[in-house]
Structure 1
Amino acid sequence: MNILIDNRQDKVDAKGLDKIVEDVVRTALEVEGVVDDVEVSVSFVDNEEIHKLNKYYRNVDRETDVLSFPLVEFEEIYTDIDEEDDDLDEVQPIGDIVISLEKAKQQAEEYGHSFIREVAYLTAHSMFHLMGYDHETEDEKKIMREKEEEVMRRLKIER
C-alpha cells in the first residue's frame, strides 16, 4: 500500500498528521475488506487553495474542508480484473484526497473536539468517497456515516 502525503501549506502545523492519516487510510480499507495493493494521495492545503480547487472542479465558489478525486470506479478494481491477471500484482491508484488544514482547525474548534480528530474524520470521509460511497440521500448518508464512525472506533479516536 502506498500512501503519499504532501503538505502544501504553512498556516497550520501538520506535525504528527502523517501517521494518523496513514492509520485512517489503512483502517478504512480494512473496513471495506480491501486487501489489494492500492495507492492514495493526500494533500494538505490552506483555505485559499481548496477554494480554488472547489471552484475549478465543482464550480462551487467557496472554501470547503475536504475534496475527493476518485481515479477509478472503485468496483471496477475487482470486477474488471481476472483473478489470474497480472494487474493484481500492481499498485492500483484509487484517488486523491485534499484537506484544508486551515478549515479542519476551524471546524475542530467549532465542534469542540481535537484537530487530530477532525483531520482523521475528514480522511475517513474522503476515503469512503474514493471507494464509491456518497451522501446524496438519507440512506446513503447513514451508510457512509456508519462506516466513518467504525473507522474512528477502531482507531479509538473519540469526539
Structure 2
Amino acid sequence: MTLTLEWYDEREGSDEAKEAGWKELLERLLKLAGESEGVEAGVVSLTLTDDEGIRELNREHRGLDKPTDVLSFPMREPGADEPEIRYDDDYETVEEELDGDDGLEADGFDPFAEMLGDIVISVPRMHEQAEEYGHSADRELGFLFVHGFLHLLGYDHMTEEEEKTMIAKQEAVLSKAGLSR
C-alpha cells in the first residue's frame, strides 16, 4: 500500500505551462510528509479552485463568508478508532478486477486504502501569497499542501505551541523537498 494523491482542478483557464510540474511536486511532498508522520498508506484528495470556489466552501463549512488559502476536510476525527471493515460478496468481484498480485489496479490506485481526507487550495490566493512572501509559487503551493495534509492528520494551530509544532513539521518537509525559504 502507498499514499495516493487524487487530483481535481475546478478552475477555468489554468496555465498548464506554468503548472506542469505541480502534480509531481505534490506527490513527492505527500510521500515526504507521510514518511515524516509515519503514514504509509491512504488517499488524499486535492482540489484546486479559485477564490469564489473556496469562499463558498469556507462559508458552508466554517461560517466565514470570505475566501481563504487552504481548507482541509479530514475523513476521521482525531483519535477515532479505525472502524471494522466487513466485506460482502462485492469484495470478491472487486478483487477480481485488480490487475496485479499486490492488490493495486493498473494505475496504482488501491481501492481499499483509507481515505485520509480532502484538501482544497485557492490558486489565485496561493499566487498572491507567494508574491507577498517573496518566494516561488511552487514553494507556496507546497506549503499550503503540507499544511493541509497535517490538518488531515489532526494537527492544528489554535495555540502558539501547536502553531510552532505545525510550522516546524511543514518546514522540515519543505526543506527535504528543496523548497526552503
CA RMSD for the aligned pairs? 2.0
Three-state SS of the structure 1 residue aligned to 2:72 is strand
Task: State the percentage of identical aligned residues.
Answer: 39
1:56-92 CA distances to partner (integer Å, 9 max, x unpaired)? 110101110000000113544xx5378xx899x9300
Deviation at 1:28, TM superposition (A): 1.0
Cα distance, 1:33 vs structure 2? 1.0
Deviation at 1:156, TM superposition (A): 1.3
- Alpha-carbon displacement from aligned partner over 1:95-128 (angstroms, at most 9, x marks no partner): 0000001100011011100000000000000000
1:152 paired with 2:157, answer no
Deviation (angstroms), 1:137: 0.3
* Structure 1 residue 9 corresponds to structure 2 residue 11: yes
Question: Which one of the candidate residues 19, 31, 34 is aligned to 2:36?
Answer: 31
Give the paired residue count. Answer: 153
Listed as ranges, the matches of 1:35-54 within 5 Å are: 35=40, 37-54=41-58
| TM-score between both structures, scaled by the size of structure 1 | 0.88
- Partner Cα separation in structure 1 for residue 73 and residue 83 of structure 2: 22
Structure 1 residue runs of 4 or more that deviate by more than 4 Å after TM superposition: none
Counterparts of 2:173 and 2:53, CA distance in 1: 28
| Cα drift, residue 40 of structure 1 | 0.4
Q: Corresponding residue for 2:148?
A: 126
Structure holding more helix per residue: 1
User: In structure 2, how many angstroms separate the alpha carbons of the residues matched to 1:81 and 1:26?
Assistant: 25
1:61-72 alignment, distance < 5 Å = 61-72=65-76
TM normalised by structure 2 equals: 0.78
1:158 Cα deviation after fit: 2.1
> Deviations for 1:104-157, whole angstroms, at most 9, x for unmatched residues?
001101110000000000000000000000000001001111100110111111
| Aligned counterpart in structure 2 of residue 98 of structure 1, from 120, 135, 140 | 120
Q: Tell whether 2:158 aligns with 1:136.
A: yes
Letter aligned with residue 63 of structure 2: N
